[in-house]
Chain A
């Protein structure tokens, strides 16, 4: 026994599949993803909602997983960096980040990828200003954001081109 409240067993919808998981109900979504589901791709940089490293998608919207209780996530669709690639193919945003050198140390990267994925999947014709505004809640200390913005632009362009040629995500 410890001071932690007893675990609860619940089902979460993570990366397109239901998963049963038992966790201490005081835990944030971030902690349950990393510690109870082994999905360590999602990172933490402050656990106070300041840095954006822990961003995941909840029902396709960017959410700071350090500020969300896992217990409140039942019935919602959670998507993490591990769920971006499909059938061994990188998501266009991942491909673009790798190609553009948008990931230096790579620690803030999953947060940027999720914010960026929501952006490029839901919006077309993005201007640089729109991209800068969308990622303003994600901090990066390595890149100066230059290559991150380039990468999101590249992913957006590729996805638009693919969509116009009949490819759907």
Chain B
């Protein structure tokens, strides 16, 4: 064929159609819809929101094309290795890096003396150093950082850094931390012990509440610590450019907070530091604050002028931690004979590990959400976080609310049993009502708790099974609530918590810019879906530029289940403004009223006469001709909800999600082995943006809860983590994971984007007590601590039968014959 014979492509006008196929979407069977499908501000009805579809970024995830932080390799890059404390508590006498510096291939070594700044994620507890200066506080505490031409050399050099310690007694437990005769991990002249934070709050007349009670229940519980264990180990690459600007690619859920703290620690203005958060390979709260290795890499990149990469190994990830606090509880609840709660007094002691982290907030969170699920007229909370010589604890999925939920729901079942009430009906009876407020001043908006209880019970035939199970088999229920974003930012300010920018291209593509971090929770798809729904285009027409402090408006980060609610609302506002411009131009062209312009199927049309239409591209071009470049912004400020008392900043949220889990278990009464047969979880998500993603979050939350309920532990011996690896730190494999049934309840929150709330964290919380309650149903005895192991089940069986029958059944053992000399 000759060139002249080839068809000519005209670029004078844009083709109306688009070769790309819309993403196939389908209706999910797991959704129970109560929300209207054609709300006033969505006259076209929903075409994207609420459907089940593949996430827009799924297709690049399955090809290995997406670059995670450790997938970034820059020319001339150095590899860094942290030197970490080998002792739990000591005065640092000497750090001698001369042998390390002398090793061929080593380019630089930094120690604590190089960065004399203390920082911390919360402005109230800046107690960390990038590298220790005069004291180490846990095995794994960073002391120095070596950078070399290759990783092997960096590792070898790290071994050569000579550290002299003067050992101090190590504080390993909450009890030790409360003692007055042991050294302080952080010097605090106002105390004689290792208490980090105390919180004492009282609401309503607690004394009168207990006086009015017919029955008072008092129990103690212990929630074991555990860790996030994302499959991606933390990684950072830092580059100091010839222009004096520093760029940090980091596996972080909070690029904005890293930006602030990196600037503060390095003494650089925000304009000269750029944080890029590539896709994060699992976070679960474990990547929500700046880590020492990230700041060390940035410092050494600036010092050497060469890019520096530091990728933690798995052992170091266990040391970086910031995982679930071990918490001990005392819980006292007064009830009337019909079960009505008259007062609750909750006391919590948190084992915080060696540094503050988010611990002040965690302390309050162990008490804050007690009142959001059930009606509590009087409430007293005493919280106390202590320092111990262990890796610092922080936020993990459910941040601080997971532990008390185990205690509360466990005791609630006990109360139901004692009063002869059905555990599910009892929960419905005392459930909070929508659009009310709690005794501690929290505003409840949409609430599908009762619907969740009904759906989960109906799907599992809870009542039939509860009545008819043989001993050893059990079914249990538990409920919970969670935030849709912390009402307040970490540092107090009046600026929006989320911003978004939408740019509409004359080719029909739309880009949304948001400072979010996608850790697998689906924020990228969520933003694309909200913009696509607003503009009536396909999700694949939307590109999402996220997590880049140079390019994207601030979003505070992927924590407290805030992104859908806050960044989603910001994106919706930005897209709504673009829609208005396009609608105005289209209305003029079509001769229709602007408010009667609809957007769907890549068409802009008259709602009253749908054939009267323009393609989306044509409408965009009209709007661009009329208004200039189409770029709009949106912002989200949470309503001011804090009640004003000290500590009232923790707990308020623009909405709460509700979850109910029903667990079915089979316990072997001889061995104590527990088999979870099925978990059914109903979750009030407000409205699902993508039903597939919500299902996925529910299944993932259930899975993570199962691990915490059954096996995950955080054990130490002489100050050392006993199992800092993925073989000994037990998580569920595909052979352990039971079938999980997700039920999505839509309640249409008035303030959520299209009515949406959250799904990332809430579904974890009820799983653990549901299993505890199912086990109690199976063995007629209660386990008061996690994880619920075979050993504890046997002990509980023994205790409830008043004997140590099983131990007596063990054959008498003979000592082995002496080994011959």
Please give me the residue from chain B that is nearest to A34 by CB atom.
B71
Q: What is the size, in residues, of chain B's interface with A at 8 Å between Cβ atoms? A: 65
As a 0/1 sequence over residues 726 to 741 of chain B, the CB contacts with chain A under 8 angstroms (1 = contact) are 1100011111010110
As a 0/1 sequence over residues 54 to 91 of chain B, the CB contacts with chain A under 8 angstroms (1 = contact) are 11011101111111101101000000000000000000
Q: Which one of B314, B521, B699 contacts A48 once the chains associate, using CB atoms below 8 Å?
A: B314
Known: A104-B700, A143-B696, A144-B700. A51 touches B62 (CB 8 A): no
Whether the pair B233, A45 counts as a contact (CB closer than 8 A) is yes
Whether the pair A43, B281 counts as a contact (CB closer than 8 A) is yes
As a 0/1 sequence over residues 35 to 59 of chain A, the CB contacts with chain B under 8 angstroms (1 = contact) are 1001111111111101101000000
Whether the pair A132, B228 counts as a contact (CB closer than 8 A) is no
Q: What is the size, in residues, of chain A's interface with B at 8 Å between Cβ atoms? A: 62
Q: Which one of B58, B63, B734 contacts A132 once the chains associate, using CB atoms below 8 Å?
A: B734
Please give me the residue from chain B that is nearest to A146 by CB atom.
B699
Residues of chain A in range 7-53 having any CB-CB distance to chain B below 8 Å: 24, 26, 34-35, 38-48, 50-51, 53
Residues of chain B in range 492-525 having any CB-CB distance to chain A below 8 Å: 519-522
Report the separation of the CA atoms of residues A101 and B23 in the bound assembly, to the nearest whole angstrom. 13
Whether the pair B734, A149 counts as a contact (CB closer than 8 A) is yes
Q: Which one of B67, B103, B692, B740 contacts A101 once the chains associate, using CB atoms below 8 Å?
A: B692
Residues of chain A in range 64-112 having any CB-CB distance to chain B below 8 Å: 80-82, 84-85, 90, 94-95, 97-101, 103-110
Judged by a CB distance under 8 angstroms, whether B108 is at the interface is: no
Contacts of A95 in B (CB 8 A): 62
Judged by a CB distance under 8 angstroms, whether B242 is at the interface is: no
Whether the pair B230, A105 counts as a contact (CB closer than 8 A) is yes
Please give me the residue from chain B that is nearest to A39 by CB atom.
B64
Report the separation of the CA atoms of residues A101 and B280 in the bound assembly, to the nearest whole angstrom. 17
Whether the pair A146, B740 counts as a contact (CB closer than 8 A) is yes
Judged by a CB distance under 8 angstroms, whether A168 is at the interface is: no
As a 0/1 sequence over residues 227 to 267 of chain B, the CB contacts with chain A under 8 angstroms (1 = contact) are 01111110000000000000000000000000000000000
Whether the pair A106, B726 counts as a contact (CB closer than 8 A) is no
Whether the pair B103, A41 counts as a contact (CB closer than 8 A) is no
Contacts of B704 in A (CB 8 A): 141, 144
Report the separation of the CA atoms of residues A138 and B284 in the bound assembly, to the nearest whole angstrom. 19
Report the separation of the CA atoms of residues A145 and B233 in the bound assembly, to the nearest whole angstrom. 20
CB distance from B319 to the nearest CB of A (A): 14
Whether the pair B699, A144 counts as a contact (CB closer than 8 A) is yes
Whether the pair A101, B150 counts as a contact (CB closer than 8 A) is no
As a 0/1 sequence over residues 708 to 731 of chain B, the CB contacts with chain A under 8 angstroms (1 = contact) are 000000000000000001110001
CB distance from A70 to the nearest CB of B (A): 14
Other than A34-B71, A98-B61, give 19 A-B pairs with Cβ distance below 8 A. A3-B152, A48-B727, A50-B726, A80-B64, A97-B58, A97-B62, A98-B59, A101-B54, A103-B61, A103-B62, A104-B520, A105-B279, A105-B283, A106-B279, A107-B520, A108-B231, A135-B734, A142-B282, A144-B737
Which 9 A-B pairs have CB atoms at the shortest separation, nearest pair first? A41-B64, A105-B520, A2-B105, A107-B281, A144-B703, A106-B61, A40-B71, A98-B58, A81-B64
A-B contact pairs, 23 of them (CB 8 A): A1-B104, A1-B105, A2-B105, A2-B152, A2-B153, A3-B104, A4-B105, A4-B153, A43-B68, A44-B70, A45-B232, A45-B726, A50-B314, A90-B63, A97-B62, A104-B522, A105-B280, A133-B734, A133-B735, A141-B229, A141-B231, A141-B700, A147-B699
